[in-house]
Structure 1
Amino acid sequence: MSTPPSPSGCPNDSPFRQIVAVAHSPLAEPGAARALASELGLDWLGVVKPRQVRDYGLLLFLDEAGLALQQTGKGAPGPVRAEFVSGKMGYRREHGGGAGQLVARAVGLQKTRSRLRVLDATAGLGQDAFVLASLGCQVTLFERNPVIHALLADGLYRAGLNEACAPIVAGMTLKAGNSLEWMTRAGPEAVDVVYLDPMFPHRDKSALVKKEMQLFRQVVGDDDDASQLLEAALACARYRVVVKRPRKAPAVAGPEPATRVEGKSSRYDIYPIRALPA
């Protein structure tokens, strides 16, 4: 069982306190769960069964597999974790197609052999950042939501203990705080590429099928400052900015992307600044 590091830069009294609490299974370390609750300003419930909890809609739940965001009540979907060792990300690591993956093409890894410095300014559960790091990028991650930040910190901690994943995680640095503030201070050419995947208002109910999105929206909401993130990204990226969007969604307000890489359900809008090094 892993004991994740406490996320830094989190508030003492969380705005999520009414909907999220911290609990753990009998096999988890109670001290780690209690410390996390204190760090995030959330209530600690001790050992519980999530399906029996009624006072909170969501739990940050620590068990032998790590930290998860778990919906409460009977019939709730399974837990959501930042998972890099097994499951979808494990398969993708072993069989993902290398630089031919959509996010890698959008960042431009087919056009350069340089080790790009990538800022993932809206990291979420870190899946795209992990792909880029696995392909040799040096990735700095920001996730400003403290609940999601805690999940990501735990996932990276556990992946760092795995022999196959540790070299990849060594190329990833998770920062606390708001990437918008960091980019505003950083100045021109602070990083090679900025990658953005902002949450945006969904109007298509089918877009909420994934349980990650259902849970995330309860604690994250929408990124209403997406246009400000894009403006700041363009001011601090050296080569390009890449913005991930649902395939049929409008572009982020601001300059039009020069080109796009499209998949079945999502696309990557590319804002080039100068040519990548050969």
Structure 2
Amino acid sequence: MLERYQLVQTPQRLELHDTHDPKVGAVYVDFVEGKAQHRRKFGGGKGQDIAKAIGLHKFKHPHVIDATAGLGRESFVLATLGCTVTLLERSPIVHALLADGLKRALASDDSEAVDIASRMTLYLADAHVWLGAMPVNDVPDVVYLDPMFPERQKSALVQKEMRFFHEVVGADEDSDALLELACQHAKRRVVVKRPRHAPELEGCKPAFVIAGKAVRYDVYLGKAAT
């Protein structure tokens, strides 16, 4: 299946192409234009559900570890809202796309995008290993988890990206163990993004839930909050 998908360096950016179905278009990371630009300008600021779940009404400029970074959309939103974000991504292919997107954002003429991207630090790492080896005095305020789940949205873009994640990256079958580890290492909160009607990870009841129409955020309290 990996032969089907190829990383291609175009004059504009690094892209992932589906060689079996080129009509679906490329997957890439863009923190300057398109949806990222629209969301940072019109996304709702600290009134967004993710901001409430992270606790931005309580904590000023928290350090967040996005332990399942994916294409970095939530990390970018959190950095837009003033968080310092450490992105962990264990797939070399996804990491390459993210690294390219961050590099282009930092080199762009958009000073706001440069400022946001400067608050994002990316590592090619398995979150289980990273969190387990973290020094006690370096624990984050919040660990954010967004384990992969099947999307039901019908837009071509979502279908394209979800097909890529399922076939190239695979399922997050160890997300239950990651929740337990995150709760041991987060200072204030662990936030888990889930489909609205999906069961909790590990069957573990959260302290509280911020629910939207399609997704919800299960919030578990960290060491300093318990």
Q: Which residue of 2 aligns with 1:4?
A: none
* Bigger Rg, structure 1 or 2: 1
Supply the AA of the counterpart residue of 2:79: A
Aligned-residue Cα RMSD (Å) equals 1.9
Supply the AA of the counterpart residue of 1:185: A
Write the distance in 2 (CA, Å) between the matches of 1:74 and 1:121. 31
Pick aligned residue for 2:132 from 176, 181, 184: 184
Write the distance in 1 (CA, Å) between the matches of 2:172 and 2:40. 29
Q: Does 1:72 align with 2:19?
A: yes
Write the distance in 2 (CA, Å) between the matches of 1:260 and 1:246. 12
Write the distance in 2 (CA, Å) between the matches of 1:245 and 1:126. 17
Pick aligned residue for 1:243 from 184, 192, 213: 192
Deviation at 1:123, TM superposition (A): 0.2
Q: Which residue of 1 aligns with 2:169?
A: 220
Distance 1:115 1:71, change over 3 A: same
Deviation at 1:122, TM superposition (A): 0.5
Distance 1:101 1:75, change over 3 A: same
- Higher helix proportion, which one? 2
Write the distance in 2 (CA, Å) between the matches of 1:178 and 1:151. 17
Describe the SS at the equivalent of 1:191: coil
Deviations 1:171-193 (A, max 9, x none): 11101221111111225571110
Deviations 1:102-121 (A, max 9, x none): 21111011223x22010000
Q: Which residue of 2 aligns with 1:25?
A: none
Deviation at 1:69, TM superposition (A): 1.5
Supply the AA of the counterpart residue of 2:152: S
Question: Structure 2 length as normaliser, TM-score?
Answer: 0.90
Distance 1:130 1:74, change over 3 A: closer
Is the CA contact 1:188–1:238 (under 8 Å) kept in the aligned structure 2?
no
Question: Structure 1 length as normaliser, TM-score?
Answer: 0.74
Deviation at 1:208, TM superposition (A): 7.5
Q: Which residue of 2 aligns with 1:173?
A: 121
Give 5+ residue unaligned stretches, structure 2.
none
1:189-204 alignment, distance < 5 Å: 190-200=139-149, 202=150
Write the distance in 1 (CA, Å) between the matches of 2:145 and 2:136. 17
Is the CA contact 1:133–1:172 (under 8 Å) kept in the aligned structure 2?
yes
Deviation at 1:158, TM superposition (A): 0.6
Give 5+ residue unaligned stretches, structure 1.
1-18, 21-55
Write the distance in 1 (CA, Å) between the matches of 2:49 and 2:12. 30
Q: Which residue of 2 aligns with 1:38?
A: none
Is the CA contact 1:100–1:110 (under 8 Å) kept in the aligned structure 2?
no
Supply the AA of the counterpart residue of 1:159: A
Deviations 1:56-85 (A, max 9, x none): 421212212201112123563111111111
Is the CA contact 2:187–2:225 (under 8 Å) kept in the aligned structure 1?
no
Write the distance in 2 (CA, Å) between the matches of 1:243 and 1:225. 14
> RCO (CA 8 Å, sep 6+): is it higher in 1 or 2?
2
